[in-house]
Amino acid sequence: MSLGARAARPCAIAALVAACAGAPDAAHQLTGRAEATSRVDRNDVAFGDDVTLTVEVRSDPALDVELPQPSAFDGFRTVDQRTLRDDGSHPRVERRWYRLRAERAGSLTLPALSVRYRAASRAAGARAREAEGAADDASALPLDGGESTGDRGEEHDREPEVWTTIATAPIAVEVRSLLPPDVAEPPAIRDIKPLQRIERPRPWLWLAVAVALVTVLAGALALFVRRRRAAPAEPAPAIPAHQIALAALERLAALDLRDDEALRRFYFALSEIVRGYVEGRFGLNATDLTTEEIVASLDRLPLPAAGADALGAFLGEADRVKFAAYRPRREDAASMLERARRFVEDTRPVAAPLHVENGAREAA
């Protein structure tokens, strides 16, 4: 046996062992294909509770991928949705979150969602392969005619682009009713009672009714005149939105963030406070809009560029904890609270005081 054959035997054996054991990244390369999964954060909720549906697609970065765009989910109302995409990983990872609110009790099913993928650019790939072999094939090209590289590229341009469709599995969700356990259905509306014969009252009853009516009218007239003469009370001044927000942030800072669930509730409350402040301060319906819709509307608000960027970054980081299952540290929560307080103070009306008034604390 030659020296080269002896040296090649250990390499072949090592490659065979690695193939049998399975390289760690081989299962995740997904060359030329994609895979999709879906999950919910909980399968047992009460009527009116929220469920987070996550659709995750792992794919070859060389593919075009279309995530599902469902218009509605039977038995649920879509409250919020967001998409995150990591183009730097291999395989590429895309996630879409749907925040759904249960609006019907019973055993409901979130349907299978379809994902499509195809080669990103077949014609561009063909032209790139032709360019790589152009130097080697230059001497073989006919000098007096024949098919050119440009003609072959146009032929590749005319090739049909075929989509491949994959689907996630349906998910069952149990929605509990808020009715008592012994009540299967809401009580039916009672029918109207039958007509009753009305006895004609005696004359002295008519007189008594007339006297009572006159007495009531006289009392009402006297009360009306007294109120007209009295000075009208001034309405209580409205509490500014920044004072309400600062008071709520102060109460939120006193919470005990002892576990991950407490941190998650903290981020939900912090996001609602900032959205409520933007709605009260600038008139944007931020509590009902998604983060993407709020960011798209910031150019219409009287906000400096730094304030708009700070708000968009703040809401994006809060969404990572709310919908992307990101687990922050307590130090991160304290930093987010300080960013929210600084945003409110930097965007408050110029004439408003910096401190939180006692009246704002009581109202909040």
Are 172 and 270 contained in the same domain?
A: no
Are 171 and 68 contained in the same domain?
A: yes
Instruction: Count CB-CB contacts under 10 A for residue 119.
Output: 18
Tens place of pLDDT per residue across the chain (364 aa): 443 444 444 444 444 434 444 444 444 567 888 899 999 999 999 999 999 999 999 988 888 888 888 878 999 999 999 988 887 778 889 999 899 999 888 899 999 998 999 987 654 444 444 544 544 444 444 434 333 333 444 444 445 568 999 999 999 999 998 877 776 666 677 788 888 887 766 677 778 888 889 999 998 988 888 877 765 556 667 889 888 989 988 998 888 878 888 888 888 998 899 999 888 888 888 888 888 888 888 888 888 878 888 888 888 888 888 887 778 888 888 888 898 899 888 888 876 454 544 544 544 4
Whether 309 contacts 347, CB under 8 Å? no
Are 77 and 171 contained in the same domain?
A: yes
Q: Does a structural domain hold residue 8?
A: no
Q: Does a structural domain hold residue 16?
A: no
Are 170 and 43 contained in the same domain?
A: yes
Q: Does a structural domain hold residue 221?
A: no
- Model pLDDT for residues 309-338, shown as the tens digit of each residue: 888 888 888 888 888 777 888 888 888 889
Whether 163 contacts 116, CB under 8 Å? yes
Instruction: Count CB-CB contacts under 10 A for residue 292.
Output: 16
Q: Does a structural domain hold residue 232?
A: no
Q: Does a structural domain hold residue 285?
A: yes
Are 54 and 172 contained in the same domain?
A: yes
Are 172 and 50 contained in the same domain?
A: yes
Which residue, 133, 148, 176, sits at the end of a domain?
176
Q: Rounded CA gap, 168 and 116, in Å? A: 12
Instruction: Count CB-CB contacts under 10 A for residue 125.
Output: 13
Q: Rounded CA gap, 340 and 201, in Å? A: 71
Please tell me the predicted confidence (pLDDT) of residue 121.
61
Q: Does a structural domain hold residue 204?
A: no
For the chain, how many structural domains are there in total? 2
CATH number reported for the structural domain that contains residue 100 in this entry: 2.60.120.570
Q: Does a structural domain hold residue 109?
A: yes
- Model pLDDT for residues 26-52, shown as the tens digit of each residue: 445 678 888 999 999 999 999 999 999
Q: Is 17 helix (H, G, I), strand (E, B) or coil?
A: helix
Please tell me the predicted confidence (pLDDT) of residue 110.
93
Which residue, 176, 194, 209, sits at the end of a domain?
176
Please tell me the predicted confidence (pLDDT) of residue 195.
86
Which residue, 131, 153, 176, sits at the end of a domain?
176
Range of the domain at 103: 28-120+166-176
Are 170 and 272 contained in the same domain?
A: no
Are 250 and 116 contained in the same domain?
A: no
Q: Does a structural domain hold residue 216?
A: no
For 268, residues 6+ apart whose C-beta sits below 8 A from its C-beta are: 322
Please tell me the predicted confidence (pLDDT) of residue 150.
38
pTM over 0.85: no
Q: Rounded CA gap, 38 and 70, in Å? A: 14
Please tell me the predicted confidence (pLDDT) of residue 305.
79
Q: Rounded CA gap, 54 and 319, in Å? A: 13
Length of the chain measured in residues = 364
